[in-house]
Structure 1
Amino acid sequence: MVNIKPLERSNPQDIAAPKKFYAKAISTGLIDFERLAYLVSNQCTVRESDCYAVLRALEHNIIDELKQGKVIQLGGLGNFQVGVKSSGETLAEDVSANSVKKAHMNFRPGAKLRDMLEIMKYTLIPA
């Protein structure tokens, strides 16, 4: 169940327009590697410390592969890929590494995450 609350926002395309309220998803906590290792270890025969080591190795390898320009397909969770924002150049020949202003992470959810989003339930919490 995902908690939501109303959030008042203005229209960025028409600042003079009346503000409206939109639903905003509210986090109920943070799960770190230690907690994930504990949860995984309770679902299989692997010890918590081994799960933690595997998660750290996974993190290290994902970062290394992304640095090499690879797309990381993480099972049913989805794909991670580096994207860039750049300045526009008049000619294709003028595009270079100096054109890149900023890098960001692109995430494309896999089928399991898309399916989860389709059946999500929500609870309104008081503002």
Structure 2
Amino acid sequence: MVTIKPLERRNPQDVNAENKYYAKAISQGVIDFERLAYLVSNQCTVRESDCYAVLRALEHNIMDELKQGKIVQLGGLGNLQVGVTSKGEINAEEVSANTVKKAHLNFRPGAKLRDMLTVVKFKTISE
């Protein structure tokens, strides 16, 4: 179950408009590689240490492939790809590595992950 709480926000397009409350998802903690390795090892015949090693290798290889400009497909989870934000230039010839302001990751969830969002249950907490 995902916990939400009300969060007051103003309208950036109309600073004179009355503030409204919006739902904000609240994290219920963090799960690290060690815990993931433990959980996976309990669902199959592979040892926890082997699962951990595979997850670390996966992490390393994902970063290497992204650095090479590739899209990393993670099966039903989705795809990862590097994206950039840059300065606008008048002519195409002026666009270069120097116009890139920063890089970021784009994640496009797979169908199963997107479908999971349609069945998520929510509970509200007050501040």
Which of the five TM-score ranges fits, normalised by the shorter chain? over 0.9
Structure 1 segments, 4+ long, off by >6 Å, are none
Cα offset, 1:63, TM superposition: 0.2
Alignment of 1:1-127 (within 5 A): 1-127=1-127
What's the CA shift string for 1:77-123, capped at 9, x where partnerless? 11100000000011001111101010001011100111001111100
Measure, in 2, the Cα distance between the counterparts of 1:44 and 1:57.
19
**Amino acid paired to 1:42:** N
**What TM-score results when the alignment is normalised by the length of structure 2?**
0.98
Measure, in 2, the Cα distance between the counterparts of 1:13 and 1:80.
32
* Unmatched 5+ stretches in structure 1: none
Percent sequence identity over aligned pairs: 78
**Amino acid paired to 2:90:** T
Q: Cα RMSD between the aligned structures? A: 0.5
**Amino acid paired to 1:89:** E
Count matched residues.
127
Structure 1 SS opposite 2:88: coil
Measure, in 2, the Cα distance between the counterparts of 1:100 and 1:20.
36
Structure 2 SS opposite 1:66: helix
* Unmatched 5+ stretches in structure 2: none
Cα offset, 1:41, TM superposition: 0.3
**What TM-score results when the alignment is normalised by the length of structure 1?**
0.98
Cα offset, 1:126, TM superposition: 2.1
